[in-house]
Amino acid sequence: MNTKTFLTTVLLAVLLFGCGKEQDQPVQTAEAPAQLVVEDAASDSAPDSTPQADGEATPLEGLFSYMADAPQFKDCRTGKAFPVAMAGPYIELENAYLNSGIVPGESIKVSLEGRFLERPNPDGKGNKIMLIVDSFIELMDSTGCTPTADAELVNTYWRLVEVNGVAVVLQQDEPEVQREPHMVLSIEDSRVHGFSGCNNFFGKYQLENDSLTFSALGSTMMACPQGMDTEQAFLNALGETTRAEVSGLFLDLYAGDSKTARFEAVYLP
């Protein structure tokens, strides 16, 4: 065997051996997590103030007014007023209002579909609850707006006001900056989400008549200088809940016969 033939043979053997080694190596695949992933954070991290982006559009009727780029909507279900985000289909609502001949600043009853979500405060201090318009339906002839007797359990922003008999009070020096503990029970997929005092939380709920239970609760994982005690009590109350009662603008949660938490339907803090 001459030198050229020998080198060619050796090179071919090396190539074949290398290919065989590659084929023998296992392929790494990503496995789906068995449970919800939580976010970890340093112990000195501040509470997450990112506005919530979920929620389902709900048919709404209320009194709308507009002046100096300050649109406002008074919900006929509760009689409470809150600002309106000037984005998306909102422009159709504004145009209908301006073309109606009404004096700017006066109210007119409107029908629309929208959501109540947290959005950054224009003054830069924390978040506030605003109406997000998903679709404008029509201006209505009536100018009256009579609140309903009870708030709706689902698709309502419920602010935590009491847990285990203790009033919930924001403790920061600037309480308007601190997010308030709250929850929303969404119709879609029977999901619950909210803010528990330090972390955002999420999970599922099951509702049958006045029976209400929560399951698969999870949350982000921050440590905060304030709100941890409230958060633990809040999440424990949800885990123990067996039924709920809505009276006017208030929601009470019970574990058997013991009341564990009280909420208020609030759309404008």
154 — phi, psi (to 5°)?
-95, 155
Are the beta carbons of 13 and 7 closer than 8 angstroms?
no
Q: Which pTM does this prediction carry?
A: 0.56
Predicted local distance difference test score (pLDDT) of residue 36: 33
Predicted local distance difference test score (pLDDT) of residue 175: 44
Q: Given pLDDT bands bounded at 50, 70 and 90, which one contains residue 199?
A: very high
Q: How do residues 126-174 score in pLDDT, each as one tens digit?
A: 677 889 999 999 999 876 787 766 888 998 889 999 999 999 987 654 4
Percentage above 90 pLDDT, the chain: 47
Q: How do residues 35-91 score in pLDDT, each as one tens digit?
A: 333 333 333 333 333 333 345 678 899 999 999 889 999 988 777 888 999 999 999
The one-letter amino acid code at 50 reads T
Predicted local distance difference test score (pLDDT) of residue 235: 97
d(CA 85, CA 204): 28
d(CA 195, CA 50): 11
d(CA 188, CA 185): 9
Predicted local distance difference test score (pLDDT) of residue 118: 76
Are the beta carbons of 146 and 137 closer than 8 angstroms?
no
Least confident among 142-151, 186-195, 215-224: 142-151
Mean pLDDT to the nearest integer, 228-254: 95
Within its chain, how far is the Cα of 157 from the centroid?
Answer: 9
Instruction: Spell out the domains of the chain, with CATH numbers in brackets.
Output: 58-139 (2.40.50.540), 158-265 (2.40.128.270)
Those residues whose C-beta lies under 8 Å from the C-beta of residue 35, and which sit 6 or more positions away, are 218
Q: How do residues 85-118 score in pLDDT, each as one tens digit?
A: 999 999 999 999 999 999 989 999 999 999 888 7
